A = this chain, B = another copy of it.
Amino acid sequence: MRDFVIVGHSAKTTPDFSLEDLPGTSGRMDVLCRCINSAFMLSHGIRRDVRCHLILMGGPEPKILRFDGSRLRHLNPDERSTAALIKRALSIDASPFWRESTPGIYIRKGDLRSLLESLRDDGQRLYYLREDGAQLSGTVSEGAFILGDHTGMRDDEEQLIESMGAETVSISPLSLHADHCIVIINWMCDNAAVRR
């Protein structure tokens, strides 16, 4: 199983944003929509062995969205239609337990700590992407990959991630957008899986 975790520091936790101006009204949900595209889209289908988690922190109480490729439907590649699916998920009452809003899309209250704990408890190895990390090994074909949004990760978040036992890794000497990182990680994991 391949998991992606993206922290959206300003991303709204309520559905009151405009699909006509995502960057200006949603707390940069457009960044997260592009991450969803990168995580799942293939030319003739969806990656069924991938899950993508968005931590939405632009509200009084953070929420987590989980996209699960094994059940995902109605996903199109454009930002706007993905944002519409997120809007729908944000319109239902969220509790501390997962609720499915549309096939394969789940929402619950929660923060980065609670998500990383559950992934670690599931036995997932954690990788934190940072430019100055050690080069990600070409033999890695699964794991949970943690990425910041356009503002990077805060110090306290980095401490939390480290305390969870995550390995800090890098895939490029350049500073790349999170959605581009996800494309490259998927590609590296595909290649590693083929070689095994």
Residues of A within 8 A of B (CB): 19-20, 22-23, 30-31, 34, 37-38, 41-44, 76-81, 150, 171-177, 180, 183-184, 187, 190-191, 194
Give the residue name and chain of the B residue nearest to A186 (CB).
Answer: B180
Q: Which of B41, B174, B187 contacts A190 (CB 8 A)?
A: B174
Question: Judging by beta carbons under 8 Å apart, are A77 and B38 in contact?
Answer: no
Q: Contact: A76 with B180, CB < 8 Å?
A: no
Q: Contact at B79–A177, with CB atoms within 8 Å?
A: no
Please name the residue on chain B nearest to A23 by beta carbon.
B78
A30 / chain B contacts, CB cutoff of 8 Å: 77-78
Measured CB to CB, the nearest residue on chain B to A79 is B79
Task: Give the CA-CA distance A184 to B30 in the complex, in Å.
Answer: 21
